[in-house]
Amino acid sequence: MGPADLEDIIGSLRPFKHEGNGGKAPVVLIGPGDDAGITLIGNTAIVETVDVITPVVNDPFTFGAVSAANSVSDVYAMGGIPVTALAIAGFSSCDYEPVVLKEILSGAVHTLDKAGARLIGGHSFDDPELKFGLSVMGTVDKNRILRVSGAIDGDVVILTKPLGVGILSTALKGGKLSDEDMRRAIEWMLMLNDKASSAASSAGASACTDVSGFGLLGHAYNMVRNAAVDFVIDSARVPVMEHVFDMIDRGMVPEGAYRNLKFNEAHASFSQDVGDERKLLLSDPQTSGGLLITLREDKIKVFEDSSLFYAVIGSVQRGSGRIIVK
């Protein structure tokens, strides 16, 4: 499936009314198709999202912490602040002791504490493959909502974390990397997108999303599809985590990267200088990836004056909703 296909299906089931139904129902400000849904209850804009992942590290506590950071990221991508969360866990009770789930939950609570949010409940189900995630509720200033669409001709494109998590996690599972080799990648995954979100709002970002399972190119396409602009991505300026290209050379590429690339090739054009390794990197599914932001070039100073990691990786130009990779 391509980016936002599930949201397209949900949105086709029935009209998503934006009026408040005579005051009896919340006003839907943003329905399916963005990083999260937003409703207006009274004067409070509520952000809601859900995300579940399989393990990307060996340690249960760290897995829970990373999964929580991944789940709250969609709230930050909308310019919001997470408030509460419900845990969702799928596991085989025959394969995992309760202490494993307790450690996963402890890791999630640790991340939520850093985000200023609280775990208030959850649900578990039997599943042969371990899965964990959160349904997150947050709030956002209704006048400062960040949207996935809205990029403007002349904007620059900014990325706030390097790529390569999917490839490195595959290499860890394949025994090609050690836990110590993954240490820096884990630090990136544990890093919240709160400060990047705040900077994007302060800079008056025209569009924003977080980079996750569809990879950089998939999420970039979701920002321009059905729009009269293209993204021009300078692949040499895209930041990359340590060990990534070595692991690509050794065949440690997740199936998701190949699926993403197949989808991306219908919506992207690559210059002859962009090799297969770089294409796979740009299609690599990320866990708790950075924010992908468009803003006016004269607003980059907001990021320059901060301590945030960021890279200007491209620009926005008039077009037809495509990604041009150089």
Summarize the confidence of residues 290-304 as an average pLDDT: 97
Angle at 288 between CA 285 and CA 194, to 5 degrees: 145
Instruction: Give start-end residues of each CATH 3.30.1330.10 domain in the chain.
Output: 5-140
Token duo for residue 81: 């602040």
% of the chain exceeding 70 in pLDDT: 93
Q: Render pLDDT for 158-212 as a digit per residue (tens, 0 to 9).
A: 999 999 999 999 999 999 999 999 999 999 999 999 999 999 999 999 999 999 9
The CATH architecture annotation of domain 5-140 reads 2-Layer Sandwich (3.30)
The CATH architecture annotation of domain 156-325 reads Alpha-Beta Complex (3.90)
* pLDDT, averaged across the chain: 93
% of the chain exceeding 90 in pLDDT: 88
**Cβ–Cβ under 8 Å, residues 214 and 222:** yes
What is the pLDDT confidence band of residue 95, given thresholds at 50, 70 and 90?
confident
| 222 to 22, 175, 268, 322: CA distances (angstroms) | 33, 34, 12, 10
What is the pLDDT confidence band of residue 17, given thresholds at 50, 70 and 90?
low
Backbone conformation region of residue 135, classed left if phi is above 0, alpha if psi is from -120 to 50, else beta: beta
| 320 to 226, 231, 292: CA distances (angstroms) | 7, 10, 19
Q: Render pLDDT for 98-137 as a digit per residue (tens, 0 to 9).
A: 899 999 999 999 999 999 999 999 999 999 999 999 999 9
**Cβ–Cβ under 8 Å, residues 255 and 183:** no
Instruction: Give start-end residues of each CATH 3.90.650.10 domain in the chain.
Output: 156-325
Token duo for residue 235: 């692949």
The residue count for the chain:
326
Query: How many angstroms from the chain centroid is the CA of residue 251?
Result: 25
pTM score, whole prediction: 0.92
